[in-house]
Amino acid sequence: MTASVVRAGVLASSVLALLWPAASGAQMAQCEGVAGGVAYKVLVDDVRHATATSSESALPIELIRSSVEGALDKVRQTVLRGTASKPSVTYLTCKGRHPEGPSAFDDNLVRSMAANHAILELWGTLFPLGGNQYQFEIHYVMFPLASFPTAAPPRVALTQRQMSGLPTPAQVQGLLTATRADLPIYFAVAAGVQAYADRQFDQSVRYLCEARTRIKDKQELEQLRTFSDMLASKAAAELRKRPNSVYSLLPDSGEKSTCQFATTR
């Protein structure tokens, strides 16, 4: 075996180790289709029942992926209406993948995922609380936020809902994708940050302003709104530098005027 082959093998092993690290001693299941390409990628993991002895799937992952794609594609079409190009989003079905928690995503992994245009990963767990009460937890990882380590809010988010009775598959779908669910917020933020990193500033402004609108009065997401405002203003400032840019019509760089302009023109 030549030295170049050995080096190539070591490099490939290193890349795989970054993309698929061990989580608390157990190997996290891989998700096909992450590496390569320029399409934005949303990773849809299992939603499981958590029990003392095992974890069972709450509903088929294909159904979850279909619901997530349907909800987020509506967001994408709305945000990018009237634009010349609408970058595609690939929804990856990550069967058997259920991270044990945020600790599964160290800095190297997050940066590697962002470099491959993975923008968001989500999974869920149903916990029995006793007395026919359940808690549904949905985790989200916004990979592109790793590009702003000093100014960005936490890149891992959590939605918790307590429910009376074991939720039906339809209720689980609703908690993930309803109009007022958190998923579209985190998708809009992640897509906006990735578009900024790709220097697609018009798309970035639109996504980040969509996030701002959806966050609205959610005080617990104030840090995320502030960050979205800041980055939308920076993207608008970049657009002003371009010859004949319509953004030169903006009277100032205020977040509110930026978003009003971006979403009404």
Q: Which amino acid is at 175?
A: L
Q: What is the pLDDT at residue 87?
A: 78
Q: What is the pTM of this model?
A: 0.83
Summarize the confidence of residues 42-64 as an average pLDDT: 85
Tell me the CA distances in angstroms from 10 to 3, 7, 25, 31, 80, one per residue in order. Answer: 11, 5, 22, 21, 42
Confidence of residue 250 (pLDDT cuts 50, 70, 90): low
Q: Average pLDDT, stretch 63-77?
A: 93
Residues whose CB is less than 8 angstroms from the CB of residue 128 and which lie 6 or more positions away in sequence, other chains included: 50, 51, 134
**What's the pLDDT at 244?**
67
Question: What are 174-228's pLDDT values in tens digits?
Answer: 888 876 789 999 999 999 999 999 999 999 999 999 999 899 888 899 999 999 9
Quote the pLDDT of residue 147: 83
